A and B are shown apart, each in its own frame.
Chain A
Amino acid sequence: MTSLLVARQYLKKFYGKFEVYLIPLVKFLLALASFMLINGKLGYMEKIDDTTIVLVAALMCSFMPMNFIVLISAAFILLHVYALSLECAVVMLAAFLLMFLVYFRFSPRDTAVVILTPICFLMNIPYVIPVALGLLCTPVSAVSAACGTAVYYLLGYVTGSATTLATMEAEETTVKFRFIIDGVLDNRAMAVTVAAFTVTIFFIYLIRRLPLDYSWTIAIVAGSLVNVMALLVGDLMFDTNVSISGVIVGTVVAALLGVVIQFFNFHVDYSRTEKVQFEDDEYYYYVKAVPKVTVAAPERKVKKINQQKKTRPSQRSQEDKKVGR
């Protein structure tokens, strides 16, 4: 455990030292992953399905605010979908506009979740999102997770019905439009996932805020169980065809990542908890203080043995004069 704590200290030091370079690098990698996933999953417009364009766009994003990545990702999605069908692009544009106008005006910091959620879905670790948001954010973030989930399922629906859309006649604009809207609104898997994520985020947040010992660990375990239960109950009720083993394995991975988050964010020693009571003119105070577990990172010291003092001949003569030789 001590070596892990030392490693954490090293990481913190490293981050503090190279923060200026690390933040643009992380933004670049996130943008690159996001654009490559979009191109890989959609890829209907060949002009933007190009490594050079992706690299240039990702480089541009690395020096811009986080929200810029979301905007460029939305532009990539819209262009690909436009190449497939105009109606799809209209529905997508409406969905993005509604998200940006109605919700992200309140919490512009949460926009990164909209990118991270589909990325986690594609990496088969979607349940990391509710666990991480429950541990690190407030219940309001459930809306961001819902938006990210909606984007993922919308993209999934578009790619899944690309052949059907391509075979439809050009004149059947309203039919195409209705087909897309119906497909999105009747997506039970999306509704169940959004509901399960929301419940999990609320549950984890509420438990981790309780004044209990090991509240974060309890929150991770209980939240993971609630996630599995919610998804399975949703499957039973709405027949969403969710893979039970996938849900269980994914939730276990999410819980493990939750433990990593806890290690970096809330690592305390409950055995040294102190409870004190005192009073002033207005209040009685019942204080519970839990110390953080920290270790100082050992510093390397290079000790030189038989070090020879190198002096110039001119300095040597001056020193000789001072001594009076």
Chain B
Amino acid sequence: MLNKERVILMTKMASYEENEGRKDRAVMSYFRGDYVWFQVLKSVVYGTIAFGIVFGMYIFYDFEVFMMDIYKMDLLEFGRSILRKYLLAIGIYCIISYAVYSYRYAKARHSVRLYQNNLRKLGGMYDKT
């Protein structure tokens, strides 16, 4: 005989396993610190590429003026100012990444716990019958 409550619970669980469950399992295969810092590291790489693109466009925008000024300017100071801007941009991006991925880890942990509770509940239903 079909148990309606059990079927509903199993359908919900199967739907979770198929969709968000996969991602959550991948997230939960890491410790919190490892997961968040790995994502922040990836953000550093992506942010560096993005900064490189913006910097390249900035240089190319006034390329002739830049080439004329390059002999006059203090290259060390120019490098320092670029580095400061880079660190500021990457720092902000990393803080945002840290917040986003910490939240995602907490959410995944909550979902996995709910799923495990449902599993226990399902097991209980089978024990009763």
> A residues near B, CB below 8 A?
91, 94, 97-98, 101-102, 105-106, 174, 177-178, 181
List of 9 A-B pairs having minimum Cβ-Cβ separation, nearest first: A101-B46, A101-B50, A174-B63, A102-B50, A94-B53, A98-B50, A106-B100, A181-B61, A94-B57
Q: Is residue B38 within 8 Å, beta carbon to beta carbon, of the partner chain?
A: no
CB A53 to nearest CB in B, in angstroms, measures 29
Can you offer 9 A-B residue contacts whose CB atoms are under 8 A? Answer: A91-B57, A97-B49, A97-B50, A97-B53, A102-B46, A174-B62, A177-B60, A177-B61, A178-B61
State A97–B57 Cα separation when bound (angstroms).
13
Q: Are A98 and B61 in contact (CB under 8 A)?
A: no
CA distance A101 to B47 in the complex (A): 7
Contacts of B93 in A (CB 8 A): 102
Shortest A184–chain B CB gap in Å is: 11
Contacts of A178 in B (CB 8 A): 61-62
Number of A-B contacts (CB under 8 A): 35
* Complex-state Cα separation, A25 to B47, whole angstroms: 36
- Majority SS of interface residues in chain A? helix
Within 8 A of A (CB), among B19-64: 42-43, 46-47, 49-50, 53-54, 56-57, 60-64
| In-complex Cβ contact of B53 among A98, A106, A181 (8 A) | A98
| A101 and B57 contact, Cβ closer than 8 Å, known pairs A106-B100, A174-B63 | no
Complex Cα distance, B57 from A181, in Å, reads 9
Closest to A98 in B: B50
Question: A residues within 8 A CB of B46?
Answer: 101-102, 105
Q: Could you tell me the distance in whole angstroms from the C-beta of A197 to the nearest C-beta in chain B?
A: 21
In the assembly, what is the distance between CA of A97 and CA of B93, in Å? 16
* Distance between Cα atoms of A94 and B56 in the complex (Å): 10
Q: Which residues of the partner chain B approach A101 to less than 8 Å between Cβ atoms?
A: 46-47, 49-50
Q: How far is the CA of A305 from the CA of B60 in the complex (A)?
A: 85
Q: Is the CB of B54 within 8 A of A98?
A: yes
Give the complex CA separation of A316 and B100 in angstroms.
75
B47/A102 in contact, CB under 8 A:
yes
How near does chain A come to B50, taking the closest CB pair, in angstroms?
5
Q: How far is the CB of B79 from chain A (nearest CB, A)?
A: 22
